[in-house]
Structure 1
Amino acid sequence: MFFKRVFVLILMLFSSVSLAFTPTQAQIEQFKKLPRAQQEALAKQYGINLSSLTNSVQNSQVTSQQLPSVLERELETPEKETELDRLNPIDKPLEPFGYSLFSGSPTTFEPPENASVPDTYVLGRGDMVNVTFYGKESTSHTLKIDNEGRLSIPNFSPEQVAGLEYGEFKKLIKNKIEKEAIGLNVFVSMSQLNPMRILVVGEAYKPGSFMVSPLSTVTHALYASGGLTEIASLRNIQVKRNGKTVSTLDLYDLLLDGNTEGDINLRSGDVVFIPSVGPQITVKGAVKREGIFELTQEDDQASLVKMFGGFKENAFTKNVTVRRIMGGAKSRIISTDFSDTSMDYTPKAGDEVIVKEVSKTASDSITLIGAVVRPGFYEWYEGITLDKLFQNFRDDLLPQADFNYSILVREKSVLGEIEVIQFSLADALKGKNIPLEKNDEIYIFSRFQLKSSEEQALENLALTEEQMRQQYKVKLWHLNEFQSFEEKMASLDPVALDTADENNSSDDFNDETAIEELATFSRKSLLKAVLKRLQYQENAFSKSNTFEVRGQVRFPGKYPLPVNAAIQDAISASGGLLESAYIEKAELTRFVNKGNSQFEHKTLNISQKTGLAEQLEPKDTLNILTRPNWYEGHKVTLRGEVRFPGTYKVNRGENLYSVIKRAGGLSEYAEPKAAIYTRKSIKEQEQSQLKKLSNELRRDIASKSFQKSIGMNASISYDEMNKLLKDIASVKAVGRLVIDLPEILSGQDSLVLQDGDTLYIPGKQDSISIIGEVNYASSHLFKSGVSIDEYLELSGGVKERAKEEQIYVIKANGAVFIPKSSGWFSVNYQNELEPGDTIVVPMDASHMDNLTLWSTATQIFYQLGVGVAAIARI
Structure 2
Amino acid sequence: MILKRILVFVLLSFSAISVAFTPTPEQIEQFSKLPKAQQEALARQYGFDVSSLNNSTDKNKDSEGFKSSIRPRNTDEEDVEKQKDEFDPTEDPLTPFGYELFSGEPTSFAPTEIASVPSDYIIGRGDSVSVNLYGKESTTHTLLVDNEGRLTIPDFSPVQVAGLTYDELKKLVANKIAKEAIGLNVFISMAELRSMRVMVVGEAYKPGSYTVSPLSTVTHALYVSGGLTEIASLRNIQVKRAGKTVAVLDLYDLLLNGDTSGDVSLRSGDVVFIPSVGPQVSVEGAVKRAGIFELTAKDDKESLVKMFGGFKENAFTKRVQVRRIMNGTKNLAVSADFSSEDSDFAPQGGDHYVVQSVNDEVVDSVTLIGAVVRPGLYEWQSGMTVDQLLSNLKSDLLPQADYSYALVVREKSVLGDVEVIQFSLADALKSKNMALQKNDEIYIFSRFELRETEEQALANLALTEEQKIQQQKVKLWHLFEYQEFKNKVQTFDDIVQIELEKAELLEDDLEPQEGQYATFSRTELLKPLLKRLEFQASSSDKSATIEVLGQVRFPGVYPLAKNATVGKAIDAAGGVLESAYAQRAELTRFINQKDQQFKHIQVNFNEHEALDIKLQSRDTLNILMQPNWLNGYKVTVEGEVRFPGTYTVSRGETLQDVIKRAGGLSEYAEPKAAVFTRESIKEQEQLQLAKLSDELRKDIASKSFQNSIGQNNSISYDEMNMLLKDLASVKAVGRLVIDLPNILENKDSVVLQDGDALYVPGKQDSISIIGEVNYASSHLFKSGVTIDQYLELSGGVKDRAKEDQIYVIKANGAVFIPKSSSWFAVSNEHELGPGDTIVVPMDASHMDNLTLWSTATQIFYQLGVGVAAIARI
Classify the TM-score, shorter chain: 0.7 to 0.9
Once residues 115 and 701 of structure 2 are traced to their aligned partners in structure 1, the CA distance between those partners, rounded to angstroms, is: 90
The separation in 1 between residues aligned to 2:119 and 2:601, in whole angstroms, is: 106
Is the 2:123–2:161 contact (alpha carbons within 8 Å) kept by the matching residues of 1?
Answer: yes
In structure 2, the partner of 1:735 is: 734
Summarize the alignment of residues 270-419 of structure 1 with structure 2, pairs less than 5 Å apart.
Answer: 271-328=271-328, 330-419=330-419
The answer on whether the counterparts of 1:407 and 1:420 sit within 8 Å (CA) in structure 2 is yes
Say if 2:4 is the partner of 1:15. Answer: no
- Aligned position for 1:76: 79
Task: Tell me the CA shift for residue 445 of structure 1.
Answer: 1.6
Cα 1:80/1:601, change in 2 over 3 Å: farther
The one-character-per-residue Cα deviations of 1:669-695 (angstroms, maximum 9, x if unpaired) are 444344333322222222222222223
Name the CA shift for 1:9/1:461 in 2 (closer, same or farther; >3 Å): closer
Question: Alpha-carbon deviations, 1:85-114, whole Å to 9, x = none?
Answer: 76x955444444334444555778987897
Shift of 1:301: 1.9
State the alpha-carbon separation in 1 of the partners of residues 676 and 43 from structure 2. 103
CA 1:16–1:112: 2 relative to 1, 3 Å: closer
Asked if the contact 1:64–1:108 (Cα under 8 Å) also holds between the matched residues in 2, the reply is no
Look up the match of 2:501. none
In structure 1, distance between residues paired with 2:237 and 2:639: 102
Aligned position for 1:630: 629
**Match status 1:192 vs 2:192:** yes
1:421 aligned residue: 421
Aligned residue in 1 for 2:755: 756
- The C-alpha deviation readout for 1:145-193, integer Å capped at 9, x for no partner, is 4577654432445566567654454456556657776886543211123
Q: Counterparts of 2:72 and 2:817 in 1: how far apart (Å)? A: 93
Per-residue CA deviation, residues 641-677 of structure 1 (Å, 9 max, x unaligned), is: 4333333222212222222222223344444344333
Contact 1:374-1:474 within 8 A present in 2 as well:
yes
Q: Which amino acid is the alignment partner of residue 286 of structure 2? A: A
Q: What stretches of structure 1 of length at least 5 have no aligned partner?
A: 43-52, 498-512, 823-828
Deviations 1:615-661 (A, max 9, x none): 22222222223333333332222334433333322221222222222
2:26 match: secondary structure = coil
Aligned pairs, number = 832
CA distance in 2, matches of 1:110, 1:794: 118
Correspondence 1:476 to 2:476: yes
Residue 579 of structure 1: SS of its match in structure 2? coil
Determine the C-alpha separation between the residues in 2 that align with 1:570 and 1:458: 27
SS at match of 1:253: helix
1:725 maps to which residue?
724
Q: Quick check: 1:493–1:532 contact (8 Å CA) kept in 2?
A: no
**2:444 match:** 444
Q: CA RMSD in A?
A: 4.6
Using structure 1 for the length normalisation, give the TM-score: 0.82
2:856 maps to a residue whose letter is A
| Residue correspondence of structure 1 range 126-275 to structure 2 within 5 A | 126-134=126-134, 138-145=138-145, 151-156=151-156, 165-167=165-167, 169-170=169-170, 173=173, 186-194=186-194, 200=200, 202-204=202-204, 213-241=213-241, 244-267=244-267, 271-275=271-275
Q: What residue ranges of structure 2 are gaps of 5+ in the alignment? A: 1-10, 498-511, 822-827
* Identity over aligned pairs, percent: 65
Taking structure 2 as the reference length, the TM-score comes to: 0.82
Pair 1:565-2:573 in alignment: no
- Measured in 1, the distance between the counterparts of 2:707 and 2:54 equals 78
Letter in structure 2 aligned against 1:749: D
Query: How far is 1:405 from its partner?
Result: 1.8
Contact 2:26 2:108 (8 Å CA) reproduced: no
Tell me how far 1:600 sits from its aligned partner.
2.5
1:591 aligned partner: 590
**Aligned counterparts, 1:597-612, within 5 A:** 597-612=596-611
Return the alpha-carbon distance in structure 2 between the equivalents of residues 358 and 97 of structure 1.
26
Q: Please tell me whether the aligned partners of residues 22 and 60 of structure 1 are also in contact (alpha carbons under 8 angstroms).
A: no
Query: CA separation in 2, counterparts of 1:340 and 1:322?
Result: 17
Code of the aligned partner of 1:76: D
User: CA deviation digits over 1:814-840, x for unaligned, max 9?
Assistant: 444445379xxxxxx999555555555
Native 8 Å contact 2:548 2:569 kept in 1: yes
**Which amino acid in the other structure matches residue 142 of structure 1?**
T
Q: Is the contact between residue 28 and residue 57 of structure 1 (CA under 8 Å) also seen in structure 2?
A: no
| Contact kept in structure 1, 2:97 and 2:291, CA below 8 Å | yes
Deviation at 1:607, TM superposition (A): 2.0
Match of 2:520 in 1: 521
TM-superposition CA deviations, 1:181-235 (whole Å, max 9, x none): 6886543211123555555555555556665555444444444455545544433
Report the alpha carbon displacement of residue 567 of structure 1 after superposing the two structures with TM.
1.6
Report the equivalent of 1:47. none
Contact 1:674 1:812 in 2 (8 A): yes
Distance 1:302 1:61, change over 3 A: closer
Contact 1:20 1:110 in 2 (8 A): no
Cα distance change of structure 1 residues 791 and 598 upon mapping to structure 2, 3 Å threshold: same
Shift in CA distance, 769/150, structure 1 to aligned 2, threshold 3 Å: farther
- Residue number in structure 1 paired with 2:657: 658
Q: Does 1:858 align with 2:818?
A: no
Aligned AA (1:258):
G
Give secondary structure in 2 for the equivalent of 1:372. coil
Q: 1:123 to 1:649 in 2, by over 3 A?
A: same
Match in the other structure for 1:784: 782
Letter in 1 for 2:574: G
Shift of 1:141: 0.4
What secondary structure sits across from 1:649 in the alignment? strand
Residues in 2 aligned to 1:33 and 1:801: alpha-carbon distance in whole angstroms: 109
Cα distance in 2 for partners of 1:133, 1:404 equals: 101
Task: State the secondary structure of the residue aligned to 2:457.
Answer: helix
In 2, Cα distance between the equivalents of 1:227 and 1:794? 111
Report the secondary structure of 1:853's partner residue.
Answer: helix
Query: Distance in 2 between the 1:170 and 1:409 partners?
Result: 86
Distance in 2 (alpha carbons) for counterparts of 1:735 and 1:55: 98
Q: Deviations over 1:51-110 (max 9, x none)?
A: xx999998678794678956665532668898xx76x95544444433444455577898
Distance in 2 of aligned mates of 1:422 and 1:799:
78
Aligned residue number for residue 534 of structure 2 = 535
Matched with 2:5 is: none
1:848 and 1:197 map into 2 onto residues whose CA distance is 108
The alpha-carbon deviation at position 133 of structure 1 amounts to: 3.4
Q: 1:586 to 1:109 in 2, by over 3 A?
A: farther
Task: In structure 1, give the amino acid aligned to 2:443.
Answer: Y
The answer as to whether partners of 1:366 and 1:438 remain within 8 angstroms in 2 is yes
CA distance in structure 2 between the partners assigned to 1:125 and 1:672 by the alignment: 134
